[in-house]
Amino acid sequence: MGRLMNDHESDLIAQARDILKKKFGYDQFRSGQQQVIQEVLSGHDVFAMMPTGSGKSICYEVPGYLLEGIVLIISPLLSLMEDQVNQLREIGEKNVRALNGLMHPEERSRVLAHLRDIRFLFISPEMLRQHSVLTALSRVKLSLFVVDEAHCVSQWGHDFRPDYLYLAEIRSHLGNPACLAVTATADERVREDIVRSLDLRAVNYVLMSVDRRNIALAVHKVKSSEEKIEELCKLLSKVQLPGIVYCAGRDWTEKIADIIRQKLGLRTAFYHGGMEAVDRRKIQNQFLDGQLDLLCCTNAFGMGINKPDIRLVVHFHFPATMNAYLQEIGRASRDGKQGLAILYYAEQDEHYPLGFIDANFPDDTLLRQVLRELDQGLLKLEKKETFLTSLQDRGASETAARFIFENVRFVTRGMNYSSIFEECRKKITERRSVQLNELSMMKRYLNSTTCRRAFYLSVYNESQSEKLDLCCDQCGLSLEAFERACPQTSDVHPEQTLDWHQRLATIFRESERDI
């Protein structure tokens, strides 16, 4: 950073620029890319925080052509992997493969048998822990160990997807290739957590601003869900679309999609983790293709989505952390045009995140019971699936069941069960307090009486450079002002919009009658 390049380094960069032109057709690196690539080519561990859409993938793709060996990319979602593989195929790269559980076992073996022909290999953290995979990979040279969407390490590794916490061990087993961790959102605590979990050494940080100056922000405090729906309808008839509505629960995504479709006639769909993979793919594609005006979804939607013209991100319920919030609103207006992020907040909404935090961990009674049964040999860790099912039968969530499994399995023989209990308790208390702290930061944002942007920037140790015209509700932004600055274009269902004004009038007449 700021230091002068030596001859060797400038030579590498010249080569990198050559690849960028030849393979990807770009003349210049975008902000951040060159710095990351330079550090990667010099063999350093790099932590990069770059906004989505800034060309994160170039940062490992270009080095892939200059370094000897395989670029291994750890990717959190199978659908994302699929997209990433296709993108590389589109530029004519044949030596790119994914390795995951959806593949036929035979095909998987074939990939492992011909690793030397591969330049880019996409893989899930779970697959990476398989013996056969690890053995095969340890026999070849890896040029780079990329952790894509690296916030998952911190967000999911400690409970939801524990395999994320084994990446450091795996990397060391694979001869410690240089590591590139990339994400769009990680505050300082999350960054430290990622660096520690991945065991990054002498790490170079490339941190770009998280400020999305073209997204106006607002928090709208209400009393009830009914009021939210009313406000949402009003909003949707005034501002530009397409948009996303984030809800805390699956049921709400379906309910809101229904209401919007009926009341406003907008092309609306819902999306959540309870749906079949094919349906999810279908809805995602429809949204990307511009066949939908609005998508109501849980936090299942969004990772790896790069649709440039999303104009609106609504939070019908607030997310559990500021990182998640930034991640979600950051999906708006990637094309640089003006966008809007509006959050509806009712105090009772807090029960969602509180409930989620609770469901992540076993309660004391279950924990004690399970440990006693393990001690007496009534339960066995050797049969993982049986163990997990047994815990879930007693009311533990899948995550809580796995929490016990992961934390008990490596306990040394000499340890007695009451001290294991205390160890687990300690860990639960720690993790819970981390999550409660993040929630309380989120609540501070919601209740903030100063500039929203200044607040979230301060969470990332940044400060605001200059005042924006369309900043946030605390800086005087009103829906009317926003509407004036960004009038709804009439190409989105004008007849239904008119229809809605008539219906709104009818609703008001009806409610007057009720009073």
Measure the CA–CA gap between 180 and 47, rounded to whole angstroms. 6
Q: What is the Cα gyration radius of the chain?
A: 25
Measure the CA–CA gap between 473 and 342, rounded to whole angstroms. 9
What Å distances lie between residue 77 and 126, 284, 489, CA to CA? 11, 14, 35
What Å distances lie between residue 373 and 6, 180, 391, 408, 425, CA to CA? 63, 43, 11, 12, 17
User: Which CB sits closer to DNA, 62 or 320?
Assistant: 320
Provide, rounded to whole angstroms, the least separation between the CB of residue 414 and DNA: 30
User: Which CB sits closer to DNA, 78 or 507?
Assistant: 78
For 365, half-sphere exposure in the C-beta direction (CA atoms, 13 angstrom radius) is 3
What's the first-to-final CA gap in the chain, in angstroms? Answer: 66
Identify residue 349 by its one-letter amino acid code. D
Provide, rounded to whole angstroms, the least separation between the CB of residue 4 and DNA: 43
- CB distance 46 to 70 below 8 Å: no
Provide, rounded to whole angstroms, the least separation between the CB of residue 163 and DNA: 7
Provide, rounded to whole angstroms, the least separation between the CB of residue 259 and DNA: 15
Provide, rounded to whole angstroms, the least separation between the CB of residue 76 and DNA: 6
* Contacting residues toward DNA, per CB under 7 A: 76-79, 100-102, 124, 126-127, 130, 155-156, 159-161, 248-251, 272-274, 298-300, 320, 348, 350-352, 354-360, 385, 395, 397-399
User: Which CB sits closer to DNA, 219 or 439?
Assistant: 439
User: Which CB sits closer to DNA, 152 or 329?
Assistant: 152
Structure tokens belonging to residue 400: 């809580």
Other C-beta atoms within 10 Å of 337: how many? 13
Other C-beta atoms within 10 Å of 456: how many? 23
Residue whose structure tokens are 């406000």: 231
Measure the CA–CA gap between 349 and 45, rounded to whole angstroms. 41
Provide, rounded to whole angstroms, the least separation between the CB of residue 166 and DNA: 13
User: Which CB sits closer to DNA, 322 or 471?
Assistant: 322
Q: For the chain, give the number of residues.
A: 515
Provide, rounded to whole angstroms, the least separation between the CB of residue 126 and DNA: 4
